[in-house]
Amino acid sequence: MHDDRSLVEARLRRVLDERVRPAVYPESVPLDVAVWHAPGEPVPVDEGLAAEPEPIAVGARWGAPWGTSWFRVTGTVPPEWAGRTVEALLDLGFDENMPGFQCEGLVYRPDGTPVKGLNPRNQWVRVGTPVEGGEQVRLHIEAASNPVILDYHPFRPTWLGDKDTAGHEPQYTLARMDLAVFDETVWQLVIDLEVLGELMAELPADAQRRHEILRAVERALDAVDLQDVNGTAARARSCLTEVLAAPAVPSAHRISAVGHAHIDSAWLWPLRETVRKVARTTANMTALIEDEPDFVFAMSQAQQWAWVKEHRPEVWARVKKAVAEGRFVPAGGMWVESDTNMPGSEAMARQFVHGKRFFLDEFGIENDEAWLPDTFGFAAGLPQIIRAAGSTRLLTQKISWSQTNRFPHHTFQWEGIDGTRIFTHFPPVDTYNCSMKGSELAHAARNFKDKGRARHSLAPTGWGDGGGGTTREMVARSARVRNLEGSPAVVWETPEQFFAKAEAEYPDPPVWVGELYLELHRATLTSQAKTKQGNRRSEHLLREAELWAATAAVRTGFRYPYEELDRIWKTVLLHQFHDILPGSSIAWVHREARATYQRLATELDQIVEAAQRALAGEGDRPLLFNAAPHSRGGVPAGGAAPQQTSGEVTVSDRPGGGHVLANGLLRIEIDARGLVVSAYDLDADRETIAPGAAANLLQLHPDFPNMWDAWDVDAFYRNAVTDLTQTDELAADEQGVRIVRSFGSSRVTQVLSLQPGERRLLIDTEVDWHETEKFLKLAFPLDVHAERYASETQFGHFHRPTHTNTSWEAAKFEACNHRFVHLAEPGWGVAVVNDSTYGHDVTRSVRTDGDQGTTTTVRASLLRAPRFPDPETDQGIHRFRHALVPGAAIADAVREGWRINLAERRVTGANDVAPLVTVDNDAVVITAVKLADDGSGDVVVRFHEAHGGRARATLTAGFEVQHVMATDLLERPLQDAPQTVGNSIPLRLRPFELVTLRLRRA
């Protein structure tokens, strides 16, 4: 038989495009349309409905960037359509390739009841089925003219990312606004042909099944009268019944489809627009649930649920009903789908505390999975946080984006720094926007790396990023592949149902130890420095506010600010979303974030100051309040007392130019270029800086990645570098050594200083940054031979290699740390600590002359200047503080990292303040002291082992304790409670073990 596959396949494509799809709506009449453009920001629904619109015609331009237009559409169903299904087709000027990335709408009835959302792949509103004829139709559309930021030629700089710079030109052309007859038989034929055509294309060319489908499709096409598609569609469908009824083979891959609409809480749109995106999507999904009995939809991010509750109570009522039916499923148990690399220990814990508590309070539902499909890599400290929150599972998809290495598993156990393991799944469909296409399903089955041991995978199904969710077409496709020969078998299930099946069939999956590093988007550790600084500062201010407010509440009856702290925490957690904290959102988002962080800092400072005044009392004794988890200057951790200092700092001229700082512990030589050429540890009689090298070296690289400008830095950036060694000014005084440099259009001012009795060189850097597509680094070449180094992560630290033996190691050329990076030889080490930077790199080389020793260079990433999506990223003044700590053990790195981030607060008063709780081993670090969230007055203490070894310690309460409970992160009791001896609690901790105790006051 002749091979005519290509002929039939080409015929199928054309007939579908030009005859069958157009016949879904065989008759239509135009609607009358009028519009009112809201002046400025969105208005309440009742105001939009009440506004008096003006007529507008199809083909007219509308919609200034970020504007809101209220369309009113009216019409009458023709009497001759009686008994038929009628829909309104409402096309605002959509490009079907951009669902979620352009204009959108939410449809209301005249009484303000929301009907459903409109987007490029969901333009219909059901009017009646069947209609009687003569019905009056009146609908209102709240249309958002969000501009297209990520266009067909992506990553081009645009001023559309902020309403202040976007202009006022209309963005869209109003397209079809009709009432139309919906022919469901033709629509079903479209789905039949699409599913079979896509399946056929994925089967081997010589497969019997492929040819059976080919012939069935050919018969169906023969049965269609192209001049009467509607009259012959049923006949054509009958030709496909047999091939659609053939069951899947027993060994077919099993896919759990989960309705999904990944909605970025901010990205190429501001936070306020996300509130509306969530409303549109949830309105659509609750409507689809009512229409499709098998469909299940899962939505993560408690913040987005809270927005629906607050802003769209009518939609919220529908959501609650669908949740009660088990069809609309809370997923993930986090406040937002946050970044997980940069949030600090306590912030990462609170993501789960606030997220899980919201779902428990609203629905009595507790999620067992973390749901993070789009997060840019996962810190090694995360597994025990997930477990401590009462969850045991993780889902993500993003690791499939890695550029260099293919991850070896799709289902596995992920082991964190303390040994905690989490059952983890990466959907092999390789998208969190699955649309049920045959190519996607076939890819999932082929790609699944655990064949032979497991058979189940998950497919998050629906338009996402900008929302939209699952469509009726996706549901119809899934119905056909539920049990279809040649295809994976698809069933709608909840995440819980999927994970239960996956764990049951794969009880002993492989184990991955350590971070899940994304080999992409590495520059998100640096972009938008002020957003990152605002996050870091907010985390530490919250620590201080909780610590001092709890101490004052117990000691003086001070009013503990439960509501204020709850609200502030949720705001900080929201801004840890994986496109805000990473710096990959539009200018509007980061402009608002900077203002928000400033406002929160003011409010938190007021809480701290009020609590400290209550504790100190009236008096003129100078007190230092120490919020760090280690004593300093004679002041205990978590207490206040007069500071004790000893020693002095000398500043002298250096022969040959420059200056020398010394304090009896360190001797720092700064040459005439303002570079540190010697950092001598006097106790160890050891030099820190590599021979012939210089630290405090600012280095400037070109930075133009191949794509994803704000997200990516590509390895070739290192091929060109400019060392900034020219000085405009070099001077010394009692504050230290001041260096001023100019380069390009920018200027740097640094102050290098020592403090009495302290083994650290402080480096305060101010950059007035006006570069474009450049990357600024601060380098420390160290005379240390180390094959690995430690960088802080949540509740501990994680080791990475300094070498590039394998492609996995080479791919980590930019990585994340929190407060410190530490590297060491046996008996001696060095730490580089920071107050607000995250990105860094560590490289090693062997000196070819002189001593043949190893130079290990640590570089902190300071600033970038990408132009997309914010064309003015990081322009302006920035301030950073770093410290070089020679002779540092890991304990010193931990201590100095905390200290540089928690500024000393000086208050005059009458009383020393004893700590509310103390621990007698510096390896046990207290990360939170607070009152219990339930208002009981119990004191909650969270701590962990921070040095990576076993620790024995005693926690002592500075108040009478009635009872001690070990709890999870949500402050719920666990079975094993520690013993107490009076107010003392003996502790034994594993390496990096995380513990939360709840102390009931007597």
Give the residue numbers annotated as catalytic, written as ranges: 374
What the block records as the tokens of 625 is: 């309040």
Amino acid at 583: G
C-alpha distance from residue 49 to each of 43, 138, 140, 315, 318 (Å): 10, 11, 7, 17, 21
**Using CB atoms within 10 A of its CB, is residue 731 exposed (0-12), middle (13-18) or buried (19+)?**
exposed
C-alpha to C-alpha distance for 43 and 49, rounded to whole angstroms = 10
C-alpha to C-alpha distance for 539 and 573, rounded to whole angstroms = 10
Please give the sequence-ordered ranges of beta strands (E in DSSP) within 847-960, or none if there are none. Answer: 854-864, 876-886, 905-909, 917-919, 924-931, 939-945, 951-957
Q: Pick the closest to residue 122 from 479, 475, 468 (CA basis).
A: 468
Q: List the beta bridge partners of residue 371.
A: 395
Residue 964: partners with Cβ closer than 8 Å, 6 or more residues away:
977, 978, 980, 985, 997, 998, 999, 1000
Phi-psi category of 215—alpha, beta or left, where left has phi over 0 and alpha has psi -120 to 50?
A: alpha
C-alpha to C-alpha distance for 724 and 848, rounded to whole angstroms = 24
Give the containing element (helix H, strand E) for 106.
strand 104-108
Residue 808: partners with Cβ closer than 8 Å, 6 or more residues away:
404, 405
Q: Pick the closest to residue 359 from 322, 318, 331 (CA basis).
A: 331
User: Backbone phi, then psi, for 863, in 5-degree steps?
Assistant: -145, 150
Residue 578: partners with Cβ closer than 8 Å, 6 or more residues away:
264, 336, 337, 338, 339, 372, 374, 375, 376
Q: Pick the closest to residue 371 from 359, 404, 825 (CA basis).
A: 359
Q: Pick the closest to residue 739 from 804, 686, 674, 682 (CA basis).
A: 674
First to last CA, the chain: 91
C-alpha distance from residue 490 to each of 285, 322, 371, 485 (Å): 19, 22, 21, 12
State the DSSP string of 54-66.
EE--TT-EE--TT
C-alpha to C-alpha distance for 289 and 278, rounded to whole angstroms = 16
Asked if 35 contacts 56 with a C-beta cutoff of 8 angstroms, the reply is yes
Asked if 145 contacts 94 with a C-beta cutoff of 8 angstroms, the reply is no
CA atoms within 13 A on the CB side of 495: 32
DSSP code of residue 821:
E
Q: Pick the closest to residue 593 from 528, 540, 539, 545 (CA basis).
A: 528
DSSP code of residue 2:
-
What's 470-509 look like in SS3? CCHHHHHHHHHCCCCCCCCEEEECCHHHHHHHHHHHCCCC
**Using CB atoms within 10 A of its CB, is residue 251 exposed (0-12), middle (13-18) or buried (19+)?**
exposed
Angle at 470 between CA 464 and CA 472, to 5 degrees: 150
Give the containing element (helix H, strand E) for 965.
strand 961-967
C-alpha to C-alpha distance for 581 and 339, rounded to whole angstroms = 7
Amino acid at 536: R
